């Protein structure tokens, strides 16, 4: 069993990884590295949640100012 590590703040769901995000995530998980993917705005927070739902060993974290959260559907805010 590989060593278990957690990258507590990563952005593998950002556009820099558009072409190889899934491969990067699969290699990390195979090597025992879990990830917390962090959104910085509405679109990247939504993508972080999508990625976390797709992979075991990946979690999403997101934060936005309250004025922005008011525009999000309640079910989106509460889904994770």
Least Cα distance to 48 among 11, 79, 18, 1 occurs for 11
Sequence-separated (6 or more) residues with CB below 8 Å from residue 60: 36, 37, 38, 39, 45, 48, 49, 51, 52, 80
What backbone torsions phi and psi does residue 66 show, to the nearest 5 degrees?
A: -55, -35
Domain ranges of the chain: 5-78
What pLDDT sits at residue 62?
76
What pLDDT sits at residue 64?
60
Q: What is the pTM of this model?
A: 0.73
pLDDT tens digits for 36-74?
A: 998 888 888 889 989 999 999 999 987 665 455 555 554
């Amino acid at each position: 069993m590989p060593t278990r590590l957690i990258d507590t703040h990563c952005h593998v769901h950002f556009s820099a990884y558009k072409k190889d995000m899934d491969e990067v995530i699969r290699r990390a998980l195979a090597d025992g590295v879990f990830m917390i993917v962090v959104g910085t705005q509405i679109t990247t927070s939504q993508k972080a949640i999508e990625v976390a739902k797709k992979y075991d060993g990946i979690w999403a974290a997101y934060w936005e100012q309250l004025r922005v959260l008011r525009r999000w559907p309640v079910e989106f805010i509460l889904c994770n």
